[in-house]
Amino acid sequence: MFIAEPLDASPTPAPGLSHERIGMFTDAVFAIAITLLVIDIKRPEEADLKRLGAFISEQAGAFIAFVIAFVMLWAAWRAHHMVFDQITRVSRPAVAVHLPLLLFAAFLPYPTGIFGEASSEPLAISMFAGTEAILMLCLATLMTLVLRQRLYAAHANTVRLAVHSVVYWGMGAYWALSAVIAWWAPGYVPLVWMATPLLAPALAKVGRRLHAPSRPVGSAPAND
């Protein structure tokens, strides 16, 4: 895939288009959201302390939901960080995509708490999976905008950005599909989610094939 050279960065970005400020605000929202995930896990009352082991066992669903949401939010933050380390500015569409991204990042603790308490309910599963899907699709959109609008810096690894965009488009669609499956087979959806660590490398492999740098005709591949 041919990726154009980045446009010359303006020394003074237009008001409201400073990528540093947007990056710092995004970091703050993710930090607060990832902290709030633990708030909805029920604490033991005085009577529960006498049966603490049983009480904690009863909260297993809440702990599982917390771990899944924490890992997914961490991955989303890392992906956003990776993008912002390779750009010199943002466009208005790139700023706009942060509205749903941060909205659903801040919202995630709510469906996480519901899913933890009612992990077999289709609506709870669908809300949780749908929120995760929207986060991933927003990140994929951001990466696509950075590439198409040439917002990246001269040192940016554009192939890596392109591969990550394929991964996040695919995983976003996968989790959105799981939100639909929840209405017919809710018990199988956690198994679908468990395949995410296997899906990501497969999507990355596809992305590398789609966006591999082209070689001149007749040239030999470089030795490893």
Tens of pLDDT, residue by residue over 66-116, are 999 999 999 999 999 999 999 989 999 999 999 999 999 999 999 999 999
Residues of the chain with pLDDT under 70: 1-13, 213-224
Alpha-carbon distance 58 to 48, whole Å?
11
- What six digits make up the tokens of 216? 């001149």
- Prediction pTM value: 0.88
How far is it, in rounded angstroms, from Cα 87 to Cα 14?
Answer: 15
- The C-alpha atoms of residue 85 and residue 64 are separated, in whole angstroms, by 32
Q: Are 171 and 203 in contact (CB under 8 A)?
A: yes
pLDDT of residue 80: 98
pLDDT number for residue 212: 78
Map out the domains of the chain as residue ranges: 19-43+54-210
Residue 174: what pLDDT?
A: 98
pLDDT at 217: 45
Res 177: pLDDT: 97
Q: Give the angle subtended at the CA of 109 by the CAs of 103 and 110, to the nearest 5°.
A: 90
DSSP string, the chain: ---PPPPPPPSSPPTT--HHHHHHHHHHHHHHHHHHTTTTSPPP-GGGGGGHHHHHHHTHHHHHHHHHHHHHHHHHHHHHHHHHTTBS---HHHHHTHHHHHHHHHHTHHHHHHHHH-TT-HHHHHHHHHHHHHHHHHHHHHHHHHHHTT-B-TT--HHHHHHHHHHHHHHHHHHHHHHHHTTT-GGGHHHHHHTHHHHHHHHHHHHHHHTPPP--TTPPPPP-
